[in-house]
Amino acid sequence: MPLTLTITEGVLPKGQESIAFTRLSDAMIKWHGLTGNTAIESNIVGSINLLPKEHTFAGSKESSVVFIEWKVPSFAFNSREIQLGYIKEATDIIHAMSGERQPRERIWVNVVHAVDGAWGIGGVALTNAQLAS
């Protein structure tokens, strides 16, 4: 399950981006009740995009921003409790790690669901049932 963390340079102290990635991943696993599930943990993958301020925008104006985007099977983030809990916690993580300098309203969380059967690992297209087993 890929996590893409896009951050304007300077939002977090230098070198803290990977810690944020891990904390956001751990929170996702926790909210899904999967803490300790090594199969899920080993399939949390992703990237960190650190961009200069002149390349990030909010309200069509140059601004410091944070985008937290998950690409997951359609059975993930499927309850309102998980959605509300994770998004609040993820926002809190980044806000706190920024020294409370990054405004909460410029931290976005987005979840993209894959169509059933269109989740590929190792060249194999897997259905939700296959992923769950």
pLDDT digits 0-9 by tens, 66-114: 999 999 988 899 999 999 999 999 999 999 999 999 999 999 999 999 8
Residue 23 in this model has a pLDDT that exceeds 80: yes
Strands 2-8 and 45-51: parallel
pLDDT tops 80 at residue 132: no
Length in residues, the chain? 133
Residue keyed to tokens 């994770």: 86
Q: What pLDDT score does 68 carry?
A: 98
List CB contacts of 93: < 8 A, sequence separation 6 or more: 20, 23, 24, 27
pTM for the predicted model, two decimal places: 0.91
pLDDT at 131 over 90: no
pLDDT band at 128 (very low <50, low <70, confident <90, very high): confident
Q: Torsions phi, psi of 77, nearest 5?
A: 55, 40
Quick one: which H or E segment has residue 36? none
| Number of separate helices (H) and strands (E) present in the chain | 4, 8
**Beta carbons of 73 and 128 less than 8 angstroms apart:** yes
- Over residues 4-28, mean pLDDT: 97
What pLDDT was estimated at residue 41? 85
Q: What is the mean pLDDT of the chain?
A: 94
